[in-house]
Amino acid sequence: MMSGEKIKKSRSTYINQWYRKKRVEYIKKFGGRCEQCGRTENLEFAHLNHNDVHGIGRGSNQRIRDVMKYPDNYILLCFKCHKLYDRGELTLKVKLIKSFEYVRRVLHDETKVPQN
Separation CA 56–CA 62 (nearest Å): 10
Domain that holds residue 93: 4-108
- Domain contains 47: yes
- Mean pLDDT, the chain, rounded, equals 75
18 occurs within a structural domain: yes
Q: Enter the pTM of the model.
A: 0.66
Exposure of 53 in the CB half-sphere (CA atoms within 13 A): 18
- Domain annotation covers residue 116: no
CA distance 90 to 32: 20
Residues 59/22, Cβ–Cβ less than 8 Å: no
- Classify residue 114: in a domain, yes or no: no
Give the count of domains, the chain. Answer: 1
* End-to-end CA, the chain: 56
Q: pLDDT per residue over 31-77, tens digit each?
A: 999 999 999 999 999 888 765 655 554 456 778 888 888 888 888 99
What confidence score (pLDDT) does residue 110 get? Answer: 44
